[in-house]
Amino acid sequence: MYRVDSMKAEEFISHQEIMETLAYADENKNNRELVDQILDKARERKGLSHREASVLLACEDEEKNQEIYALAEQIKKDFYGNRIVMFAPLYLSNYCVNGCVYCPFHAKNKHIPRKKLTQEEIRREVIALQDMGHKRLALETGEDPVNCPIEYVLESIKTIYSIQHKNGAIRRVNVNIAATTVENYRKLKEAGIGTYILFQETYHKESYEKLHPTGPKHNYAYHTEAMDRAMEGGIDDVGIGALFGLELYRYEFAGLLMHAEHLEAVHGVGPHTISVPRIRRADDIDPDTFDNGIDDDIFAKLVACIRIAVPYTGMIISTRESKQCRERVLHLGVSQISGGSRTSVGGYVEEEPEEESSAQFDISDNRTLDQVVNWLIEMGYIPSFCTACYREGRTGDRFMSLCKSGQIQNCCHPNALMTLKEYLEDYASEDTRQKGEALIRKELENIPKEKVRKIVEKNLTEIEQGQRDFRF
C-alpha cells in the first residue's frame, strides 16, 4: 500500500506505514546499537529516512540525545553557517469559506471583522514593511473564491513587486494560500513567486477530516497532493509544514519526512523549506482544547531531528514562538525567521483595537525587526535579507546543487553580508548599525576565496555611496 512515488495521497502518506514506523521507533528507542548506526549515517550529511529519523525522535537515552543535538548543531553550521534569513508575513484577506477548527478565520466565526486589502492599502502595507527593512514577504490569505480569487492574489503580487519606496524593494514574494489547481499554480509561477507554502496541518487523514469539517479544505487528498500540482505547474520551491498540537507530533514528523521523500522521488527535488508552527491563542481559539500540544523540550528535539533528516531543507520559525524558544531552536537547525510581524489584515499601517482585531493568532515575539536583527547580531548570527538565488534562477534542484557543492560560503555568505549592509545603511538604529558593522568586518575574513572577498569589500563601499542590490 505504501509507495513513495505514488501520486495518491493515501499511498505516499500511508497511515499503515506511519503506524509501523512509530512501532519500530518505539521498539528501538533504547536500542543503542541502532541509534549509533543511524547517527553514523546521519554524520555523512546525506539525510535519513522517515523510519531512521523516527527512531532518533523517540530515543530516550539522554547521552544519545545530547549527540543528536550536537550533530544537528554541526549540520546547521556546515550547511547554513551563521546566516539567518529574515522575512515577514503579509495578510491580504481573512475571508474564508473553510471550517478549520483551530483558525479564527473559519467561516462560522461571525464575530471577527472580515477585511480584504485594496491595492492602495497593499501599497501602504508594503511601504511600511519596506521602511522596516524587509525584502522578503510571505503572502497569507484565507480561502474564498469570491472575495479572494486567484486574480486578486496575482494583481496583489504585481502591485507588491512594483513598489519602490526610497531604497526599499520587495525582492521575493512567497505565497501561502489554499490548495489550488495546476493552472493557478502556473499563474503564480508566471507572477514570479518565490516559494509556494502550504501546511498540511495534519497528515492523519481521519483527524484531518474532523479538523476541517466543512469547505473545500475538507478534501484530504486534494490538500495533500497540492505540492505535486504546484510542481506540475512549474513551481519548484515548495514549503511544507504541519500545525503541531493537532495530532501526535511523532505522527506528523513521519508524515513530513514521507512527504519530503515523495517530492524528491517524483520531482527530483525535495521541499525548499519546512515550517513547524504550533497552535496559538486566537480570537475564538483556545489552544488548550487541543490535546496534542508539545512543550519547548519536545519542540527543540523535533527541530533537531528535522535538521538531521533533511540537511538541505531550510527550516522556518515564525513569531508564534517566543524569543527564548526561538533562541534555542536557532542553534538546532532553523534557518529562516520572521520579525516585526503582524497577523492582522492591514496591521502594519494601523494597529487595531484588541476587541476589533482581524488577526489570525497572537504573536509571542512582539519585538520590532530592528530589535530582532540586533539580537541576532549579538548572538553572532548574520541576519540576511538575501533573495539572490531565486532572482538568479537558482531554484529547485539548482539551489540544492549549490548547497551540495559546498559553494555556499562563497555565495550565500557574501550575499548575506551585503544585504545586511544595506539594512544597516537604510533602516538600522545606531546601536544595531555599530554592532552590525563590527560583525561584517569580522565575517569578511570568513570568505574563503580572496577574489570574492575583494569584490565584496568593493561592493560594501559602493553600498555606503548609495548603490544597492549587489549579489552573487
Contact 116, 92 (CB under 8 A): yes
387 binds, among ligand SF4, ligand SAM, none (CB under 5 to 8 A by kind): none
- Residues of this chain, 47-106, that bind ligand SAM according to CB under 6 A: 102-103
Q: Check binding of 199 to ligand SAM (CB under 6 A).
A: yes
Continuous H helices in 107-219: 119-132, 150-162, 182-190, 205-211
- Give the binding range for ligand SF4 (CB under 6 A) out of 41-49, 70-78, 99-107, 159-167: 99-107
Stretch that binds ligand SF4, among 97-105, 181-189, 276-284, 298-306 (CB under 6 A): 97-105
All three cell numbers of 72: 544537528
Distance CA 345, CA 82 (A): 33
Site for ligand SF4 in 102-121 (CB under 6 A): 103, 105-106
Cα gap 336→414, rounded to integer Å: 17
Residue 69 CA to residue 438 CA, distance in Å, equals: 30
Contact of residue 280 among ligand SF4, ligand SAM, none (CB under 5-8 Å per partner type): ligand SAM
Mention every residue, 6+ apart, whose C-beta is less than 8 A from residue 425.
167, 463, 464
What is the identity of the amino acid at 451?
K
Choose among 122, 198, 138, 146: nearest CA to 173: 138
What backbone phi and psi angles, to 5 degrees, belong to 120? -70, -40
**278 DSSP assignment:** B
d(CA 149, CA 318): 26
Per CB under 6 A, 92 contacts ligand SF4: no
Which of ligand SAM, ligand SF4, none binds 271 (CB below 5-8 Å, type-dependent)? none
Give the contact letters, 224-243, x = binds to ligand SAM (CB under 6 A), - = no: -------------------x
| Integer Cα distance of 444 and 414 in angstroms | 8
- The binder of 106, among ligand SF4, ligand SAM, none, by C-beta within 5 to 8 A per type, is ligand SF4
Q: Is 212 in the site for ligand SAM (CB under 6 A)?
A: no
For residues 38 and 90, which CB has a smaller minimum distance to ligand SAM in the complex? 90
Q: Establish if 470 lies at the interface with ligand SF4 (CB under 6 A).
A: no
Segment near ligand SAM (CB under 6 A); pick from 35-43, 276-284, 366-374, 413-421: 276-284
Rule CB under 6 A: is residue 217 a binding residue for ligand SF4?
yes
Judged by the rule CB under 6 A, the positions of this chain that interact with ligand SF4 are 96, 98, 100, 103, 105-106, 142-143, 178, 217
